[in-house]
Amino acid sequence: MAKRILLLASGGGSLAASILKAAQSGEIDVKVCRVISDRSAPVLELAESFGVPGTLVEFSQFDSRESWGVAMENIVGSDSVDLVVSVGFMRILPSSFVHRFPTINTHPALLPLFPGAHAVGDALLAGAIETGTSVHWVDAGVDTGTVISQIKVGIEVGDTEESLHERIKIQERKLIVETLKKFATIGLQK
C-alpha cells in the first residue's frame, strides 16, 4: 500500500510539482494527501490541478504562532500521514509538530553549511567553490536535523544568486524524488 505524504509549500511549487508528477506517474509509490501553504500561493492551484486538496493555513490569520501551530497539527493529524515533506515552506514548524509528525525538508545548500533562508547568497558571499542541496529531517532548530541525502552543485565564475539557485533547484527536484523513492520502498532512518 502506498505511503501517505503531505506537502508543505509557500510559493510557486516547482518542488511540489516534481513530487506530484512522480506520484501520478507511479515513479514513486506515495499518495499525496494534501498540500498546505501558509500564504495564498500558486502551489495551492497546482495541487488542485493534480486532484490533491490544497489548504491555506495563513499565518497572519492567527493571533499567535502557537495557535497557528495547533491549527497545523489538527489538519495534518486528520490526514493520517506517514511523512510530512516541506518543499519551500518558509515557516518554522513548532517543536510539538515535528515531534508528532516525521518531517523532512529540502534545503539549497550542503548542510550543515549555510543553514537558513539565505543559503544560496551566503554560499556566494563566503566564496565557496561548491554548494548543493540537502534533504534532512526537521527538528526544533533551523536546518539542524540529520541529513538524509545531498547532491553537490559547483559554483561557476560569474554566478549570481539567481543563476546558482536555478541550477540548485534542478538538482533539488531530482533529490527529493529519489529520497521519496527510498522512503516508499525501504523507509528513511533518523
Backbone angles phi, psi at 13, to 5 degrees: 90, 30
CA–CA separation, 171 vs 15, rounded Å? Answer: 10
- Tally of domains within the chain: 1
CATH of the domain at 132: 3.40.50.170
Contact 22, 101 (CB under 8 A): no
- 3-state SS track over 165-176: HHHHHHHHHHHH
Contacts of 115 by beta carbon, 8 Å cutoff, 6+ apart:
107, 109, 142, 143, 144
Q: Interior CA angle at 63 toward 57 and 67, to 5°? A: 60
First to last CA, the chain: 22
Q: Can you read off the three cell numbers belonging to residue 151?
A: 547532491
Does 100 fall in a domain?
yes
> Could you tell me the residue range of the domain that residue 19 belongs to?
3-185
CA distances from 15 to 35, 70, 184 (A): 12, 26, 18
Full-model pTM: 0.96
Catalytic residues: 107
Per-residue pLDDT tens for 124-151?
999 999 999 999 999 999 999 999 999 9
Per-residue pLDDT tens for 151-188?
999 999 999 999 999 999 999 999 999 999 999 998 88
Does 62 fall in a domain?
yes
Does 190 fall in a domain?
no
CA–CA separation, 117 vs 59, rounded Å? Answer: 18
Per-residue pLDDT tens for 52-95?
999 999 999 999 999 999 999 999 999 999 999 999 999 999 99
Does 161 fall in a domain?
yes
Q: Can you read off the three cell numbers belonging to residue 38?
A: 501558509
Does 78 fall in a domain?
yes
